[in-house]
Amino acid sequence: VGLMLDFQIEKSTSSEANVASITITNPSDDTIGTLQKEGIVILELGYAGDNAIIFTGEKEAVNYTYESGTKRLELNLLEGTSNYTNLNFSKNYPIGTTNLQIIFDIVLHLIANVPSIQASNAYLISDLKIYTRPQIVSGNAYDILKNFLDPINYQYFVANGTISIIPKNGFVKDLQVSISSRSGLIGSPKPISENDKEDTAQNGVEFESILNYNFDVGRLVKIDSKSFTSKILKIRSVTHVGNTFEGEYKSIVRAFEVDGI
């Protein structure tokens, strides 16, 4: 509150780290000192009296400049990543262990060892596999998790300090967001198409709105406009961009069709 921030935040349901670039103009010495300390950065955006966490990340770089009487502090942040040691997972499992137990342990390992991951969603995996031989599980925790989820058609992603696990064509069930000209839609949504990893074309919609922290990856969005009536899609990527004092302050959303809707 009270800081002049220029920001660009990019999040997606891919396994790549989310990124944020934040520039603070004329920060106080206390603000500069605080943001140069060890630890994660939690960014809250919104409107007067109605802010919410929109990004949780580790500092990849911090740059300070002073030109023509203007101070600027630039932060480059990554969400969901960490160093080799923190990501390394190694554990032996006895006969009778299930894939769900191993997935559960990997998620706990990531929460404990990746500073920008602080919780997991309430995921439910119905595809149970029981191993009839001892299992040795070792390596990069993200790689292992992907190797266990891919065969059962699940995926993981990180957003707002939470690791989520959902079916590849499923969605996070915590909130469905609605957008129309009455709730911040800017211009007209445009149809888009994108090929998935199997090179199958998927249809979707891209739209802009005034910044809405409820737009987050994995959630459903219901679009009402001249071209789309109660169109429900899953948000695959979102970019929040703007300045807290002047100029644009908006969200750019790409959402795609999902089964069962």
pLDDT digits (tens, 9 = 90+) for 7-65: 999 999 998 899 999 999 999 999 999 998 888 999 999 998 899 999 999 999 999 99
User: Is the predicted pLDDT of residue 199 greater than 60, yes or no?
Assistant: no
pTM beyond cutoff 0.75:
yes
Lowest mean pLDDT among 52-66, 197-211, 244-258: 197-211
Which of the 8 DSSP states describes residue 17?
Answer: P
Sheet architecture: strand order including 162-167: 119-120, 162-167, 154-159
Quick one: average pLDDT of 94-98?
97
**Other C-beta atoms within 10 Å of 104: how many?**
14
Residue pointed to by tokens 């101070």: 71
Question: Where residue 197 falls among pLDDT bands split at 50, 70, 90?
Answer: low
Inter-CA distances, 145 with 53, 91, 107, 196, Å: 26, 13, 8, 20
Round to whole Å and give the CA distance between 243 and 22.
Answer: 10
226-248 burial, b at 16+ Cβ within 10 Å, e below that, comes to: eebeebbbbbbbbbbbbebeeee
Quick one: average pLDDT of 245-258?
94
Q: Which two tokens stand for residue 35?
A: 């943001």
User: Is the predicted pLDDT of residue 194 greater than 90, yes or no?
Assistant: no
Question: Where residue 1 falls among pLDDT bands split at 50, 70, 90?
Answer: confident
User: Is the predicted pLDDT of residue 196 greater than 70, yes or no?
Assistant: no
Inter-CA distances, 13 with 25, 80, 170, Å: 31, 12, 11
Question: Where residue 84 falls among pLDDT bands split at 50, 70, 90?
Answer: confident
Quick one: average pLDDT of 167-196?
92
